[in-house]
Structure 1
Amino acid sequence: MSDDPQTRRQIEAIANDHRPLLVLDVDEVVLEFLGPFMRWLQSEGYTFRPLTFALNGNIFDAKGEVASKTEVEALVTRFFDIQHEWQVLADGFPEALEPLADSAQIVLLTAMPHQHFEAREALLTSLSVLYPLVTTEKAKGPAVALLHGGRDAPVAFIDDMAYNLISVAKSLPDATLIHLMAHRQMRELMPPLPQGIVAASDWSSAAEAARKALGL
């Protein structure tokens, strides 16, 4: 069971479903995050230099000094406050997912403070992404397990961060784990994926891996 009470309440509000379950991360999976975030940083006088696979250490202020961890966290919070002005759908997402929509239960699970739920839901709705949304401030594994609810059907999980995929593997060992990251330049800096995770280069390959995993 999720150890985030608000996450648990959001999941309990979703109608029971016995179809195969497909859980999708939002940033860098459903929505572009890094590209819009970099452009917004520039508008604020900052520069993003993709030196490592991280946000911390890659953001520089107008003086050329690296932004502190606290400053980066504040920038991300500010960006999420105006996300609707910058974020767009990841390339290929709607077309790739549409064939699965009738045969699987699709839920969006985003790791972000709950205070941004309404803004994120409004953005997704404006982009015609109408699947249920769940926010969590804790590990994703317990949340995906609660979504699955012990149903006699397979589950697949798509995320851009290895630690989220590993978290789900610990909570649901039989889940199919698929890695997808929209921003190619940052993906090239990513450490090798742990064994057992399917690497998808784009939404077409991610959807095909999910289709096979869910037996559709």
Structure 2
Amino acid sequence: MAAGRPDDVIRLGHRPLIVSDVDEVVLEFLTPFKLFLESRQHRLLPRSFRLSGNIVDLQNGEAASEAAVKALLDAFYDAQEQWQTPAALVVNALAELSAEADIVFLTAMPPRHAAKRRALLDALGLPYPLLASEEPKGPLVEQLHGGRELPMVFIDDILRNLHSVRDHAPACLLINLMANTEFRALAPVPDAGIHAAADWTEAAPLIRAHFGRWAPRR
């Protein structure tokens, strides 16, 4: 599945919903991207919580231009199956959670890369529906959930995306999770109402507790 109206391409059961980002949440991104950059004579320096300005051309020591960063990202996504691996413990955690909730991946990447991402996720034992979009995530999550009176969880490594979902689905449990500890230390501190999880061993209990607090209206 690629971009489009979520309710046109994904069918949910009458169960809680978990919507998860992919890069740095389900798949390792920064660690393999650093290795990929080294293979292209570039290096990612942990100077701030962003890519632009921190990717350096090893041939001249200068920061790569915005256009060069975009080209490197595109090349990485074209070869993602050669580089990306599952985040720690995610395969088992999601398999167990899928017994009680629907799971949807919402990945912030150009939809043209969605087919390769779909194939990689399937090969890694992560067969859950995938949406690839560069649009703000809040409206997409709101539309996907469709106003159902069921609990929902959203997991992402970027606060901007968590804020977007909070604005459009205020009852949603928000979890900030980032696999790479080096860059996580540079990330902004989550604000009130956003739960930080170091990994899936911390995220899974938060999700189950949220489901446990929900009771259907009589």
TM-score of Structure 1 vs Structure 2, range by shorter chain: over 0.9
1:46 pairs with 2:42: yes
Contact conserved, 2:89 with 2:200, CA < 8 A, in 1?
yes
Q: How far 1:137 sits from its partner (Å)?
A: 1.5
What's the % identity of the aligned pairs?
A: 47
Within 2, Cα distance between the matches of 1:52 and 1:118?
31
Within 1, Cα distance between the matches of 2:13 and 2:23?
25
Contact conserved, 1:18 with 1:152, CA < 8 A, in 2?
no
Q: Which runs of 5+ in 2 are unaligned?
A: 214-218
Instruction: Write the mapping of 1:1-216 to structure 2, written as runs, cut at 5 A.
Output: 6-8=3-5, 10-62=6-58, 63-215=60-212
Q: Which runs of 5+ in 1 are unaligned?
A: none
Q: How far 1:214 sits from its partner (Å)?
A: 2.1
Q: Name the aligned partner's letter for residue 67 of structure 1.
A: A
Q: How far 1:201 sits from its partner (Å)?
A: 1.0
Q: Deviations over 1:127-156 (max 9, x none)?
A: 111000011110000111111111110101
Contact conserved, 1:156 with 1:214, CA < 8 A, in 2?
no
Within 2, Cα distance between the matches of 1:114 and 1:19?
27
The alignment of Structure 1 onto Structure 2 pairs a total of residues equal to 211
Q: How far 1:98 sits from its partner (Å)?
A: 2.3
Contact conserved, 2:12 with 2:102, CA < 8 A, in 1?
no
Q: How far 1:16 sits from its partner (Å)?
A: 3.3
RMSD between aligned alpha carbons?
1.4
Provide TM-score, normalisation by structure 2. 0.93
Q: Name the aligned partner's letter for residue 9 of structure 2.
A: A
Q: Name the aligned partner's letter for residue 31 of structure 2.
A: G
Within 1, Cα distance between the matches of 2:3 and 2:120?
20
Contact conserved, 2:176 with 2:197, CA < 8 A, in 1?
yes
Q: Deviations over 1:20-59 (max 9, x none)?
A: 0000100000000000000000001001111001101110
Provide TM-score, normalisation by structure 1. 0.94
Q: Name the aligned partner's letter for residue 160 of structure 2.
A: Y
Q: How far 1:71 sits from its partner (Å)?
A: 1.1
Contact conserved, 1:7 with 1:143, CA < 8 A, in 2?
no
